[in-house]
Amino acid sequence: MEKASKIFVAGANGMVGSAIVRELQKNGYENLLLPNSKALDLRNQEAVAAFFEKNKPEYVFLAAAKVGGIYANNTYPAEFLYDNMMIQNNVIHHAYLNNVKKLLFLGSSCIYPKFAQQPINENSLLTDTLEPTNEAYAIAKISGVEMCKFYKKQYGCQFISAMPTNLYGINDNFNIENSHVLPALLRKFVEAKNKNEKNVTVWGTGTPLREFLYVDDLAEACLFLMLHYNEESTINVGTGVEISIKELAETIKEKVGFKGELVFDTTKPDGTPRKLLDVSKINNLGWKHKIDLNDGIEKTIEWLHQTNFSSFK
């Protein structure tokens, strides 16, 4: 991928896409195609076909997706399945039709079985049942992984897939109803502190273990993989470090400066009990995360202050 190569970042306005754009620009890639969802609805096959035919991108980072936490996945499974399959089917197929040199598809660690052996190796894919609360999203993402694999097998396309762990950071979604656990907790603690509330409620028991990757680290990994990875099989992207939801809540509480109590609502679902990725494959290739969880949370809080908490609105 040359500095002047024409690069399409699908989902450029989202948390992941915007981080990829920052990483590309930092490394001297300026010939970027960055349409927003209003300019290009990736669910619309005709629109995607016209975009590829007109612009002829050489490389594609497929970071566009409908995403959300347990509540959103559980409440809108049909939308999560339909929207994500339409987005990835359209982009991957028209990348093939227009001779894109290389495409990176971003999946999610939720594609792995609920009770996969820990840490989760890439070979665990499709070996057991999924976590029911995000099954629709996982099925969509699995189909994207398999689509890249089979287009590579049948057509010789250089289409690769990466599976990031739980992400957070700049431009995250802080909507209480459909955000992931870390941004949801950040919002709860910030608002509780501002309103002098006595406690903050955390969904579930607090016992599940999760791994978190700062989004700028993922963006660096995406560029690394686009330049250095060509295998048919997917590759995990994470930190290899896990923390309980209770510990996460306590950490955010301390960083925000909230003085009240934690209350765990055990009537709410925990989701998968443990989800730690085996990142030995990408580490052995030469990439490793740089930003630990404490620093990442502080960076996110600092960004929220700079945006005057407008992301909460």
Binding residue ranges for NADP(+): 11-17, 106-109, 141, 164-167, 180
Binding residue ranges for substrate: 188, 203, 210, 270
Prior bond to 183 cis, omega within 30? no
Residue type, 223: L
Residues identified as active-site: 137
Angle at 242 (CA atoms; ends 233, 253), nearest 5 degrees: 135
